[in-house]
Chain A
Amino acid sequence: MSAASQFWRSWAAVVAASVLFAAIAMLQVRIDAQTRPVAQQKEELVLSSGPMLQKISLGYDSLLADIYWTRAVQYYGGKLHDLSRDYSLLPGLLDITTTLDPHLLVAYRFGAIFLSEPPPSGAGRVDLAIQLEERGIKANPDAWDLDANRGFLYYWHLKDYAKASAAYLDAAKNPKAPHTMRMMAARITEKGGDLDTSMAIWAQYFTSSKDPRVLKTARDHIEGLQALKDERAIDALSQQYHAGFGKYPTSTKELRDAGMLSGIPLDPTGIPYIIGPDGKSGLDPTSSVIVEIPPKLPNEK
């Protein structure tokens, strides 16, 4: 066979293989179109038993735990993206992950957030989140931050200040825990859910994580609480203004002109607050700050 004919044969083989692969890809697209609705209906955990998976992993259970954790993160991310309220597989995925590797702290830390956040940001299952943290504490007695997270869940979601304070005290018992844990417990017992306590708890959350998603959530909450604190201060001044001038101010500029403010107060994104006809302050519609009403003090109106 001549060199030229060998060259052309090789090229023909490459072209033929390319054409065949293109045909295979087109065929796969058609198969996907047919099977996707079926696949979407069958969203379930085929193997739902952690201990069983541990056995069949042949000793590679820690690697399997990483895979299941990644699957849980992907599942949560997918639901979050679709604004879905059905997080039914999440508890199972987290249970398998932590059974396969009881020391995978990240699964307790973030898993509790995924479970506790209200829908559509999470499963809204604070009870399961607390159970997960408790399992984590049992398997990792040194991980004081899991106790702190449990305290956070009682404080923020369940508004059970007694249990929140007890959880922070449990965290404080660990010699590695920062002294702020004991302060946090005392503060919750004393002041319950006031704004400063809420901000301190979110600040603790902010400093305990390096993950950008958690940092953003904590930052959003801190900014929201700061805005709420500012609004309450402006509302109080607005009432004073009304008492003095017989009408509500229309803007914070009027409060400043009246000498009640030294400057124009800005929200955490740098936009001035607005004041409504009823004298109540609020965020400018263009502001990206999200204000969430925090748990109230028992004696707070």
Chain B
Amino acid sequence: MSSMASPAAGSAIGRPVAGAIPGVVAVNTFREAVRDRILYNLIFFALLMMGAAILVGQISIGIERLVIINLGLSAISIFGLIMAIFIGVSLVSKEIEKRTLYSLLSKPIRRWEFLLGRYTGLLLTLVVNTSLMTVGLAGALLYVSRHFERGDASILLAVYFILLQLALVTAIALFFSCFSTPVLSTLYTIGIYVAGVFANDIHAIGQFTRNPAMEAVTRVIYYLLPNFHNFNIIAVASHGEAVPFSLIWQNTIYAALYAAVVLIAAAAVFSRRNLK
């Protein structure tokens, strides 16, 4: 983060006002991502959408709209996950590797502020990337069906849920990157993600055993793991079905709370880490 602006963005004298430093770090993280051509994945997404829009009608029956929605939302989710995991695990390690972290922390920046800024910056990158892909998806949908339907509003909700999921994955990737190598952090994050997708099955396996101890263990694992199943409404969106409002606010709070817990843990680990 060599182009990091002066932390004196918040006030003229002494430490900047609270929240200013993470904001500056976030903006620079976003700039860094743009400079690293991260958003080039949008070209691939656009090609995928165009190809699907043209091809599917030729090789299948009656699912042109469905494919565009399913493929578009799945691609938004997969591209976002790849970015969240691979960029997330390098947020801290890259700074250490380039030794820019030392000069940064010599300034009046707290470690948790740096972490929060990096997290928010990647989140901002993901929001911009996801928004642009959503525009591409809407364009492909308009090309295929010539109009939008009332049920298409649930596509926006599905995108919002994907963003909540990405916010959680980014927090987990950042947490591991605070104390592990990028390769191991990637593996841990993918592991947690897959386990989180299968959280319901882990719970069900415990119930199948009819063993009270096993049931208790799997129940604890179930509640500890981030339940990524909650955020998957791609099938619901593709069929234009309504999403209950309660699910929207519950998922929002769930993601916010879980990400907060993980970020606090990450800050605690990073604050104690010996960087010498």
Q: A residues within 8 Å of B by Cβ?
A: 55, 58-63, 65-66, 69-70, 73-74, 101, 103-104, 106, 109-110, 211, 213
Partner of A63, one of B62, B74, B229: B74
Question: Do A70 and B235 touch (CB < 8 A)?
Answer: no
Is the CB of B86 closer than 8 A to any CB of chain A?
no
Question: Do B194 and A106 touch (CB < 8 A)?
Answer: no
Interface string of B185-201 (1 = CB under 8 A from A): 00000000010011001
Within 8 A of A (CB), among B156-207: 194, 197-198, 201
- A187 CA / B234 CA spacing, docked (Å): 42
The answer to whether residues A59 and B239 also contact, given A211-B61, A213-B61 and a CB cut-off of 8 A, is: no
- A9 CA / B241 CA spacing, docked (Å): 60
Whose C-beta in chain B lies nearest to the C-beta of A61?
B235
Whose C-beta in chain A lies nearest to the C-beta of B75?
A63
Given contact pairs A59-B234, A60-B234, A66-B60, a sample of 14 additional A-B residue pairs in the complex whose CB atoms are under 8 Å apart = A59-B228, A60-B78, A62-B234, A63-B67, A65-B70, A66-B67, A73-B59, A73-B60, A103-B235, A103-B239, A106-B66, A109-B62, A110-B61, A211-B62
- A70 CA / B63 CA spacing, docked (Å): 9
The answer to whether residues A73 and B197 also contact, given A66-B67, A101-B235 and a CB cut-off of 8 A, is: no
- A65 CA / B74 CA spacing, docked (Å): 13
Question: Do B229 and A74 touch (CB < 8 A)?
Answer: no
Question: Do B229 and A73 touch (CB < 8 A)?
Answer: no
Is the CB of B134 closer than 8 A to any CB of chain A?
no
Whose C-beta in chain A lies nearest to the C-beta of B194?
A58
Is the CB of B130 closer than 8 A to any CB of chain A?
no
- A101 CA / B239 CA spacing, docked (Å): 10
The prevalent SS among residues of A at the interface is helix
**In the complex, chain A residues whose CB is within 8 Å of the CB of B197:** 58-59
**In the complex, chain B residues whose CB is within 8 Å of the CB of A106:** 61-63, 66
Partner of B63, one of A61, A66, A74, A213: A66
The prevalent SS among residues of B at the interface is helix
Question: Do A62 and B198 touch (CB < 8 A)?
Answer: no
Question: Do A66 and B66 touch (CB < 8 A)?
Answer: yes
**In the complex, chain B residues whose CB is within 8 Å of the CB of A55:** 198, 201
**In the complex, chain A residues whose CB is within 8 Å of the CB of B74:** 60, 63
**In the complex, chain B residues whose CB is within 8 Å of the CB of A66:** 60, 63, 66-67, 70-71
Is the CB of B238 closer than 8 A to any CB of chain A?
yes
For residue B57, give the distance in angstroms from its CB to the closest CB of chain A. 11
- A55 CA / B74 CA spacing, docked (Å): 16
Is the CB of B232 closer than 8 A to any CB of chain A?
yes
Number of interface residues of B (CB under 8 A): 25
For residue B224, give the distance in angstroms from its CB to the closest CB of chain A. 19
Most buried by B among A58, A61, A109: A58
For residue B51, give the distance in angstroms from its CB to the closest CB of chain A. 14
**In the complex, chain B residues whose CB is within 8 Å of the CB of A109:** 62
- A188 CA / B142 CA spacing, docked (Å): 42
**In the complex, chain A residues whose CB is within 8 Å of the CB of B77:** 59-60
Interface string of B113-126 (1 = CB under 8 A from A): 00000000000000
The answer to whether residues A74 and B70 also contact, given A59-B228, A101-B235 and a CB cut-off of 8 A, is: no
- A70 CA / B70 CA spacing, docked (Å): 14
Partner of B60, one of A62, A63, A69, A101: A69
Question: Do B59 and A104 touch (CB < 8 A)?
Answer: no
**In the complex, chain A residues whose CB is within 8 Å of the CB of B201:** 55
Whose C-beta in chain B lies nearest to the C-beta of A113?
B61
For residue B211, give the distance in angstroms from its CB to the closest CB of chain A. 22
Question: Do A59 and B232 touch (CB < 8 A)?
Answer: yes
Whose C-beta in chain B lies nearest to the C-beta of A209?
B62
16 examples of A-B residue contacts, CB within 8 angstroms: A55-B201, A59-B77, A59-B229, A60-B77, A60-B78, A62-B70, A63-B67, A63-B70, A63-B234, A65-B70, A73-B59, A103-B241, A106-B61, A110-B61, A110-B62, A211-B62
